[in-house]
Structure 1
């Protein structure tokens, strides 16, 4: 699991990222990011809507899978951004870890968070 200092949630923080962030879209997710000059570490949020999957267990499983990929890639990323990963495809649940990691890595590279 990602450390608490690298996670954020709450409507105010997410609203700020949604409103002011730049977006990078892939086939399974959108990554919105914004520079946060007040912190010396990056923070991440993974959002999976009920429209994607009705089951909370499955939504949380997707969330944990994405957080694990972020945790492994964290040393290679910039340390001053707030990032929201918005999942809009249920296929993330059954996607092999290798493919999911590659998709997220490409998105992070194109969003200049690396």
Structure 2
């Protein structure tokens, strides 16, 4: 799991990223990101709507899978970004880890979040 200092949640923080952030899109997810001027480390949020999956267990499983990929990629990412990853496809739940990791890495590189 991603460390607490690298996670953020709450409507105020997410609303700021949604309103002011830039976006990178793929077939299963969108990454919204904005530069954080007050922190020296990046923060991430993974959002899975009830419209995607009704079951909280399944939504949380997707969230944990994406957080794990981010945790492994964190040393290679920029240190001053707030990033929200919005999942809008239920196929992420059954997607093999290797494929999901490649999709997430492609979105992050498309957003130019790598060092």
Same fold (TM over 0.5): yes
Task: Give the TM bin, normalised by the shorter chain.
Answer: over 0.9
- Aligned residue number for residue 68 of structure 2: 68
- Aligned residue number for residue 40 of structure 1: 40
* Consecutive aligned runs of 4 or more in structure 1 exceeding 6 Å deviation: none
- Aligned residue number for residue 22 of structure 1: 22
Is 1:13 aligned to residue 9 of structure 2? no
CA drift of 1:78 comes to 0.2
CA distance in 2, matches of 1:51, 1:18: 18
Gaps of 5+ in 1: none
Is 1:86 aligned to residue 86 of structure 2? yes
- Aligned residue number for residue 2 of structure 2: 2
Residue aligned with 1:16, SS = helix
CA distance in 2, matches of 1:88, 1:110: 18
CA drift of 1:37 comes to 1.1
Q: What do you get for the CA RMSD once the two structures are aligned? A: 0.3
CA drift of 1:11 comes to 0.2
Q: Normalising to structure 1: TM-score of the pair?
A: 1.00
